[in-house]
Structure 1
Amino acid sequence: MAGMAGMAAPSEHNLAEPTHFPINAPKEMDWTFAGPFGTYDKAQLQRGLKIYKEVCAACHSMNLVAFRTLEDLGYTEAQVKAFAAEYEVQDGPNSDGEMFTRKALPGDRFPSPFPNSAAAAAANNGAVPPDFSLIAKARGVIRGFPTFVFDIFTQYAEGGPDYIHALLTSYDQQPPAGMEIPEGTHYNPAFIAGKSLAMAKPISDGQVTYEDGTPETVDQYAKDVAAFLMWAAEPHLPERKQTGFQVLLFLALFGGLLYATKRKVWANVAH
């Protein structure tokens, strides 16, 4: 999934050229973690982790996410330790002052597949694949008036996952006649920064096997990895929502008590 930030293509400014991006706005999806009482589906997060490992990790790091946090997805400590050991990380210096590589431990973070950004750009048509730690919070399409007003009351915060899903499922569309797509880039009407980007279509139907019988389609893959990336960006989202509800409930009760106290104290005072 190299270069989700991608590389915008220069415009030729003819009649078929778009004047805004994305060309097609993301569709608002039905996420389990949406709304004031939303929570994560651990089975979906596990499938999303599988997508990340088998597809995305070839180009994208998650250098803010530690392996030990995967226990939140329902894995045991032993499973997390075994999962981490499948990766290698750089450590050191040793007693000779040299850096060395070793198998990752649960306390380590998901490593980058490239030694540096220059190597990453050279391997991806000049575009450095962004780190995925916060991608679900860093990406999203601005929703104009009056939609953003309603978002305040519905607590819509799923713009990132909606965008990721839209981007991954929009590759098979063809550009309008007359629109020129620069060589080495790929048309995607859901891309937020241009008409095409450096990342080629990263996944196809049946590419990743699900052991739980979930449909192995691009649409499902996109939903699962988008949900996983949302968890990576905000792992304590359900707890935050629960705390927020408790605070609002407390404020409502406290406000009611204050009002009742005020009425009692001033009941016999002449106005």
Structure 2
Amino acid sequence: MVRLISLLVGAAFVGVLAIALFGTVATAISDPAPETAEAKYHQHPENIGLASNGFFGRFDRRQLQRGFQVYKEVCSACHSLKYVAFRDLADLGYSEGEVKAIATQWAIEQPSVNPETGEATTRKNIPSDRFPSPFANEVAARAANNNALPPDLSLMAKARHDGTNYIHALLMGYRAQPAALLKEFPGTKTPTGLHYNPWFANLNIAMPPPLTSDGQVPYADGTRATKDQMARDVAAFLTWTAEPKLERRHAAGLASVVFLLIFCFLAWGAYQNVWRDVKH
């Protein structure tokens, strides 16, 4: 009797769930949710084909150095790299002396305390220091950026879907708001202080266009600094900051695959040797 009651209760519960599911599906079909401006006009980035892409991908050191130069001269005014140390730049091909010079000459110094007075002060950066934030705290960062908080860029290529391509598309995506959008969605005019960018999730971003013209960052290696080239280079650099051990991971994966192939061949040979005298 108890078992029968349990079966009936279970059957009733499943039936209620089935009815609810059917009602939800029927409502979605007969009365679909209204299309939004974000859903219709949001764009998805295209693959920019960096050298680091793919199973055998490797970083282009010259491109990483150019990307660092773009970050230094453009992005560092607002965005931090709190998970990257100056000494990590040696992986980009900089010598020990160049790393020390970059750290010492960095525009923003490290916060410190005067040992004699105990008052807050600053000191020169050293290679073991991480890149300092351009702002003393979040309040100061928001005050300088129309109440928007500039995100840290250390892991941006991992924090956003298709991050490398997203960074490039976002930097190149500033444009006038299309008339078709305003006609179809009259209440979606870009607010004052924001900028229309269809590659941003809600179409309007607080960051002004950081790359404004060709030649904005004169490259030390002589590469022509078009806006597209600068966007590609800084996207490559931020891919490295997010995954500096990418090349070692690729090498370890390749070595593992080779090891497994050799192991399978040896196992097959051992099997053949052990069972060679056995007749089927």
Counterpart contact for 2:177–2:190, Cα < 8 Å? no
Partner residue of 2:70 out of 38, 51, 56 = 51
Partner residue of 1:202 out of 206, 210, 219 = 210
Aligned to 1:33: 52
Counterpart contact for 1:168–1:201, Cα < 8 Å? yes
Distance apart, 1:16 and its partner CA: 7.6
Distance 1:69 1:211 in 2: 20
SS at structure 2 position matched to 1:101: strand
Partner residue of 1:139 out of 148, 152, 160 = 160
Distance 2:129 2:40 in 1: 41
Which consecutive residues of structure 2, in runs of 5 or more, have no partner in the other structure?
1-32, 183-187
Aligned to 1:167: 170
For the structure 1 residues 173 and 166, does the alpha-carbon distance in structure 2 shift closer, same or farther, using more than 3 Å as the test? farther
Alignment of 1:88-99 (within 5 A): 88-92=109-113, 94=115, 96-99=117-120
Distance apart, 1:86 and its partner CA: 1.7
Distance 2:263 2:141 in 1: 55
Q: Superposition RMSD on alpha carbons, in Å?
A: 2.0
For the structure 1 residues 260 and 180, does the alpha-carbon distance in structure 2 shift closer, same or farther, using more than 3 Å as the test? same
Aligned to 1:9: none
SS at structure 2 position matched to 1:43: helix
TM-score by length of structure 2 reads: 0.80
For the structure 1 residues 173 and 246, does the alpha-carbon distance in structure 2 shift closer, same or farther, using more than 3 Å as the test? farther
Aligned to 2:19: none
The structure in which a higher percent of residues are helix is 2
Distance 1:222 1:81 in 2: 27
RCO greater where, 1 or 2, for CA within 8 Å and sep 6 or more? 1
Equivalent pairs counted in the alignment come to 239
Partner residue of 1:106 out of 116, 124, 127 = 127
1:249 lines up with 2:268 in the alignment: no
TM-score by length of structure 1 reads: 0.82
Distance 1:255 1:20 in 2: 51
- Decide which structure has the larger Cα Rg and report it: 2
Q: Which amino acid aligns with 1:168?
A: L
Distance 2:95 2:143 in 1: 38
Alignment of 1:1-271 (within 5 A): 17-19=37-39, 23-87=42-106, 88-92=109-113, 94=115, 96-140=117-161, 159-177=162-180, 178=182, 179-191=188-200, 193-204=201-212, 205-269=214-278
For the structure 1 residues 199 and 184, does the alpha-carbon distance in structure 2 shift closer, same or farther, using more than 3 Å as the test? same
